[in-house]
Amino acid sequence: MTSASGNATGLEILLSTLQSSYDVQNTLSILQILDELLSAGTVKRIRYMISKGGSEALLHTLINMTRIFPPNYDVLLPLLHLIIKVGQRDKRFGQKAQEIGAINETLNLLKHSLPQPKYVTPCLWVLKIYATSVVTGAALGKSGITRLLFKLISPYTTRNTKAVRAAIEALSALLKSKWNCRRAVDNGYIHRLLKLYQDWHQRDTQNRFTSIHKALLNCIKNITNIQAGKKAFLQADGMRVLLSASQAYGSSPGLQPVIKLATQVMRKCHPKQPLPLLTVRSCYSFLLPNAADSQPLACSSMFPQDVIAMKEDDEEQDDEDNIENEEPVCNEDDDDLETDLTRLRPNPQLDRAVEELKQYERLCPELTGYFQDSGRNPNGPSGGCILNPSKHKTKKMHLSMQRPSVDSSKACIQTVTGEERPHFLSQSWSIDSEQNGQHAGYKLSQMRREMVPFHDPHVYTMMAEKTRSASDYKSLAFPDYWGHISPVYQEPLTGQWSGHQRDKIFEDIQRLVSPGDILNKVVFDADSLPLVTSEDDISLKFYSHFESGNLRKAIQIRKYEYDLIMNADINTELQHQWFYFKLSGMRAGIPYRFNIINCEKTNSQFNYGMQPVMYSVHEALCGRPHWIRVGSDIYYYKNHYCRYNAATRGKKETSYYTLTFTITFLHSKDVCYLAYHYPYTYSTLMTHLHLLEESLNPDQVYFRHQTLCSTLGGNRCPVITITASPGAQCEQLRQFWNRQYVVLTARVHPGESNASWVIKGTLEFLMSNDPIARSLRDSYIFKIIPMLNPDGVVNGCHRCSLSGEDLNRQWSDPKPDLHPTIYHTKGLLSYLRSIGKTPLVYCDYHGHSRKKNVFMYGCSLKETLWQARSSIDTATLKEDIGYRTIPKVLDKISPAFAMNRCCFLVQKSREATARVVVWREIGVLRSYTMESTYCGCDQGKYNGLQLGTQELEEVGAKFCAGLLKLKKEEWSCSKQLITEDGAVFDSDNELPNDRRVTPSDGSVDDEPPCSEEIDYDTDNCTEEDDDSIDLAAELSGTSEDELELDKN
């Protein structure tokens, strides 16, 4: 056996001999040896041969052999076979052929081989390989080969099908060149290709030649990569041809690749359209204080339809670009990691003068030492809510609640829908009609079966009266007024609705093909006056002008199908995700399809088991006041609507996505509310805080409800202090003043309502008699700001405040006039640091739309450097790994929590978030963002279940329990505590030794692709790797009949 170097030398000698040989027998012998070598090995052998000049040797041999006349196919066929085998693995094969001069020789051989399919077929496959280089493909097109290929492509036939397929495949490769595409459009080839595809589809009834169907679609796909091709495709009625063919294919697994390709072509060619709105900016605006540019801006996305349709690809550029760029793709997440040690090391420093920070002393009354009157004093320094209904009156009201009769429920539903007394509902929810509203609300309250814990409709109504909105809403949503109780059952993740996703897309495409079948009837428009409808109108009625409501427009498309458009965040034209609206007028047992057509994120948990939530007034009045998960046939995919950026003259577009789902209502003429997630309004929060305060025992719980500041919209941002009331002894007071602080915030993003349910669980747990709660109150002082963005919540925004900015990107330099809640929260934290009370823990509660489970983001110097593969020697760096304590404890005690989803990396793009700023500038080691899924869990006790409000509240309670680990003096505390949550004390703090730590928090999706892999993310279809060409299989059974050339 020879050495490896000997093999290399022998191969080079063999290739050199082959390249210089003009003798047929010698050439044939060497080809056989090479074929045996390559057949016995793997792809690595082929690549090794390419590295030693194998491609060049074969191409030179082709030139040598084609100069022998007449052609000797005994040597040419094995040669072409090797060229195909090697050429498929050499990305520069086409360029090499052009440089060596093999292109013309191959074309001459093809023409000479006509009309024999046995000889033509390998020539065509070689041309396909040449054309994989766009430059070579353009050169081949200029030689006139495209016309010849069309002559070889015949209508449906059962003869010479492999040669026909090879011709189509070669044409498809040529059409990757825009130059060839333009010539093909000019010559009317798109119409001919559609005719050929239609002929093969209709006459190939047994689907024996699906590879030809797919090859024809690839040709159409490549031509339509240019704007002129799309236009020609639409003019040739290509949408109707492909749609009817795709629908006729059915669900046969063998035909799915063909249907997928046809669907991609149709979706790509569907004309882009703006949303059916006058402007994509929010229909509400808010004039910002002291800001010259705060006037409502003109819409930057008002483009006429013809402008959008004429968005051109850069067609005039030459095609001599080498698209085979093999440079490694940068990992954007790793590039975003902070590697500057000066920024990675926490560097606590005050950003304001100490004198200025003294204003926050009022928010720490627990430090003043006056506890003689520890009761609630709404007129005192707390500045709390001035609302004082009698506790006896509230209790009496609750005691009078009874289960409603069936007749009374029906009567109330009729009243709600306006059938008997059309003014009853508007009066009951009217904020201005106090007397009538309270009377109607009292009548409804008599029907309540049971009390919703810490909720009272009367208190809620009074709180809502004080709430200010930019839209100046005058109605209350029934679920917010009546309250929600988590159902006793848990709701599973839905399965992926496999098999129907394309049906929904086909129905959307059908609108373009058959516009006369579409109603296109506007049934709700927040920009206009209420629409007047006739009594016999069976359309659904929509409404969203209430707190946290969000629905901009509703358009009836078909009898039971509606397109819905969400409103943008105020003073923006972006952030479409949160929806919350009322609908009525439904018929029971009818499937209604809803399409929310202006979603922005490229993927969603709606594709992986998540459902929207619904609240039925009928069910609530029957004693079941539940928000429940609803909907079937739920899909999330890219649509044909887009928004163009005026700054780039319409060249840069933002695509929209459709969330579609179907609901079959249980009751006719019900009133139902639909939402993205369980709503939790600002008025609900204020009601909850008030009732919590009413329920506490001041001798056990020190509770202060104060106002942090007023928001831009004039709403109060509450800050809550919770700890154990101190005793009167000096030692007890000293222990009280020495307690460490824990600061918790939530709802900086208004659409993340799950964060409010989590912090609700935290508040109620800390106020409870649970032994862990008592122990925590004895050890810590909790400062809780449960809603950092009240204005956004009130006005139904998803991410921004009234300033049109994401408040969680303003922590580095918040402005008191534009970001008051962030400015003063940071000020409070800075004040605590300035007096030596730096918080032990800071956690900001959030919601996550594209991941499952509950998890945390934290900050770690070493883990960030490891992930970034930094050259800095981390062994010399010291870091307290206590930041892992709470997540590791939660992983053991909280069923929804997943440690393997946690991340402790510091990214440049997150440097202005609360987590990073509090860690870096305030010096809080345990500074976290806690993310709760909108969806459900894929691990643990709740695996396969969607999270409801009960589970979310449990997360908030378990977070508190996790804090117990930090109480070193309590590690050997009472047996009762250990029994309650023994896992709290079992976690270790060891940092993994390897450098494979947590994934980057820049990742957005932890799900596999959908079962139906349609390309949702690009306009141009994604390029797939071509199937390997097996020339032996392509030539086996080749007919000896001559090819029939198209005379046209």
Active site residues: 931
* Orientation angle between helical segments 457-466 and 434-445, nearest 10 degrees: 150
Token pair in block for residue 975: 């047996």
| Cβ atoms of residues 124 and 172 within 8 Å | no
| Cα 70 from Cα 188, distance rounded (Å) | 37
Of the candidates 589, 673, 630, the residue with the CA atom closest to the CA atom of residue 948: 630
| Cβ atoms of residues 815 and 829 within 8 Å | no
Peptide bond between residue 70 and the one before it cis (omega within 30 degrees of 0): yes
- 702 three-class SS: strand
| Cα 589 from Cα 662, distance rounded (Å) | 12
| Cβ atoms of residues 713 and 286 within 8 Å | yes
Neighbouring residues of 39: CB distance < 8 A, sequence distance ≥ 6: none
665 burial (CB, 10 Å; 0-12 / 13-18 / 19+) is buried
Question: Which pairing describes strands 580-584 and 627-629: parallel, antiparallel, or unpaired?
Answer: unpaired
Backbone angles phi, psi at 841, to 5 degrees: -140, 140
- 398 three-class SS: helix
- 583 three-class SS: strand
1002 burial (CB, 10 Å; 0-12 / 13-18 / 19+) is middle
Q: Where are the alpha helices (DSSP H) in 175-314?
A: 178-186, 189-203, 210-223, 227-235, 238-249, 256-269, 305-309
Q: Where are the alpha helices (DSSP H) in 21-160?
A: 24-40, 43-51, 54-66, 73-87, 93-100, 102-113, 117-131, 134-142, 145-152
Neighbouring residues of 888: CB distance < 8 A, sequence distance ≥ 6: 899, 987, 988, 989
Rg (CA), the chain: 35
Of the candidates 719, 723, 721, 720, the residue with the CA atom closest to the CA atom of residue 701: 723
Neighbouring residues of 720: CB distance < 8 A, sequence distance ≥ 6: 689, 703, 704, 705, 706, 763, 782, 783, 784, 785, 786
E strands present in 711-758: 716-724, 740-746
CA dihedral (801, 802, 803, 807) in degrees, to 10, reads -10
How many other C-beta atoms are found inside a 10 Å radius of the C-beta of residue 953? 20
Of the candidates 753, 440, 425, 482, the residue with the CA atom closest to the CA atom of residue 624: 482
The edge-to-edge listing of strands for the beta sheet with 854-857 is 701-710, 716-724, 780-785, 740-746, 841-848, 926-933, 854-857
The secondary element (H helix, E strand) that includes residue 854 is: strand 854-857
Neighbouring residues of 216: CB distance < 8 A, sequence distance ≥ 6: 168, 193, 196, 197, 200
| Cβ atoms of residues 678 and 704 within 8 Å | no
Q: Measuring CA to CA, how many Å separate 911 from each of 330, 862, 867, 967?
A: 21, 17, 17, 30
Token pair in block for residue 3: 């050495």
| Cα 963 from Cα 842, distance rounded (Å) | 11
| Cβ atoms of residues 548 and 502 within 8 Å | no
The secondary element (H helix, E strand) that includes residue 633 is: strand 632-644
